[in-house]
Amino acid sequence: MATKKEETSSSENPMVAYNPGLLPYGSNVGAPAIVPDDIETWKTDQAIKTNQYFNTRYEEIKQEYRNLIEQYEWNKLVYRSKYSFVPIKGHTYYLYQRKDNSLFLSLIAPHEWNQLFIGAFKLDSEDKWHKVEV
C-alpha cells in the first residue's frame, strides 16, 4: 500500500516545481537569491544624460536662432540699400556707406577705391544675401 507521501505528485502541489531545470529562476532554498537591480542609480544616470542632451540641443537652437537673425539683418540691410542694377545670383557685390550715411551696393571691390566698406555679399539661388569674406 502506498503511503500518503508517495501518492501526492509534484503536479498536485503548487509549491513544488514539476521540472525545475526549465524555470528561469531558482525553485528551491539552495538557489541564488533574486535581488532586484538598483534602478535608482540607472534612473539618476539617465536623467543626467537626458538633461545634458536637452541643454546642448537648447544651446544649439539658440545659436541657430542668433545666426538666422543675423542673416535676416544683413538681408534687410542689403535689400534696403540703393543699387541700380539687377544682381546676378552667385556673384559677389560690395556694400558701402556714403558720407550722408546712406548705403549702396556696388560691383567695385573695396581695394579698387576709397569708400567706407560695410561688407561683401553673395546672392544665392533663393534670393538671400550671404555675407562673404573678402
Assign 31 a pLDDT band (cuts: 50, 70, 90): confident
Residue 12 has pLDDT above 70, yes or no: no
Q: Kindly state the average pLDDT of the residues 10-31.
A: 69
Residue 14 confidence (pLDDT):
61
**Which grid cell is 130?**
550671404
Neighbouring residues of 88: CB distance < 8 A, sequence distance ≥ 6: 123
Cα–Cα distance between 28 and 47 in angstroms, integer? 38
Single-letter amino acid code for the residue at 72: Y
Q: Kindly state the average pLDDT of the residues 102-129.
A: 94
Q: Can you list the alpha helix ranges (DSSP code H) found in the chain?
A: 4-7, 39-80
Q: Kindly state the average pLDDT of the residues 43-51.
A: 95
Residue 126 has pLDDT above 70, yes or no: yes
Chain CA centroid to CA 30, Å = 52
